[in-house]
Structure 1
Amino acid sequence: MKRILAFALSMAACAAFAQMTPLGLWRNVDDKTGEAKAEIRIVDQGGKLSGRIEKTLTKNGKPTCEECKDERKDQPIVGLEIIRNAQKSEGQAVWEHGKILDPENGKEYTLRLAPIDGGQKLQVRGYIGPFFRTQTWVRVQ
């Protein structure tokens, strides 16, 4: 009985730890209006994270990234890669040094991702110099 209990506890701990990662499907929420805007899937590509818009949730959004400056210019919003090259910081549950694109204005920001609330939420922070903006994304179950 003790072995079964120990095994169950260790599996629960592993499941909780596995959720303390940005990998998965997230719903971003507008930090000004509180409205859900899109669902973004974050995946690992050889130790670096990438994220693409999988679904838009607003009806009045632009269908393409008109403001983008690079190869993403005029590409469809659905499928657009908005997170690139985030890497896990040593010894921390934080991913940094990547870039995040705001498709509404075409600007790219230095990125910091930190799972919070047991991995059910993701703190997404974009920096330009000393200035930053933070959003809290919610994991889609």
Structure 2
Amino acid sequence: MKKYLLGFGLLFAFSMLLAVLPARAAVGPDDVLGVWKNGEGTGMIQIYKSGNKYFGRLVWLKVPNTPEGTPRTDVNNPDEAKRKTPLKGLVNMRDFVYSGDGKWSDGKIYDPKNGSDYSCEMTLTDANTLEVRGYIGVSLFGRTDVWKRQAMKK
């Protein structure tokens, strides 16, 4: 009888624990779509889908113009022909695929601050928080930036 009571007590305690833990909503492939502000607050990136892949483009810059008043361009691009490309509208994320469980992988991210391209993966930690990890080689050697979803203005 004591074994049954102990078993019932453990089952009851476990079910109560499950009841109070927050349920994680299922994440779908298109849940990453939208406008996100980077961790520094210096830019906003619109993530969009083309075919079965996901891309991102710069749609807002905190400092959109140079001191001379002209739009900022991709001055650090290693390809000299691209250095006059405006930063606003620049596709700086490309080729992400949804790999399940709120993760997008196999992508690339371009950092216009230094003109470098990195491997990248994204993880949606909740509906409004996106962890973006850029790395060289393996993900262990990289940096994660936390982005926040921005409300769409109508």
TM range (shorter): 0.7 to 0.9
- In the alignment, which residue of structure 1 is the partner of 2:31? 21
1:46 partner amino acid = G
Q: With CA pairs under 8 Å and 6+ residues apart, which has the higher RCO, 1 or 2?
A: 1
Question: SS in structure 2 opposite 1:29?
Answer: coil
Question: SS in structure 2 opposite 1:97?
Answer: strand
- In the alignment, which residue of structure 1 is the partner of 2:76? 67
Q: Quick one: distance in 1 between partners of 2:142 and 2:65?
A: 26
Cα deviation, 1:23-57, whole Å, max 9, x if unaligned, reads 10001122xxxxx1111100010010110000101
User: Cα RMSD between the aligned structures?
Assistant: 2.6
- In the alignment, which residue of structure 2 is the partner of 1:9? none
Cα deviation, 1:44-87, whole Å, max 9, x if unaligned, reads 10010110000101367780111113464321010000100011
Q: Which has the larger radius of gyration?
A: 2
Q: Quick one: distance in 1 between partners of 2:111 and 2:98?
A: 22
Runs ≥4 residues deviating over 2 A: 15-21, 58-62, 69-74
Structure 1: tracts of 5 or more residues without a match: 1-14, 31-35
Instruction: State, as a whole percentage, how many aligned pairs show the same letter.
Output: 35
2:117 partner amino acid = E
Q: CA deviation at 1:92?
A: 2.3
Q: Quick one: distance in 2 between partners of 1:59 and 1:81?
A: 16
Structure 2: tracts of 5 or more residues without a match: 1-24
Q: Quick one: distance in 1 between partners of 2:77 and 2:149?
A: 27
- In the alignment, which residue of structure 2 is the partner of 1:124? 132
* Residues 43-52 or 17-26, more deviating: 17-26
1:101-112 aligned at under 5 Å gives the runs 101-112=110-121
Q: 1:94 to 1:17 in 2, by over 3 A?
A: closer
1:97 partner amino acid = D
Q: Please point out which of 57, 61, 71 is paired with 1:56.
A: 61
Count of paired positions: 121
Q: Quick one: distance in 2 between partners of 1:103 and 1:126?
A: 13
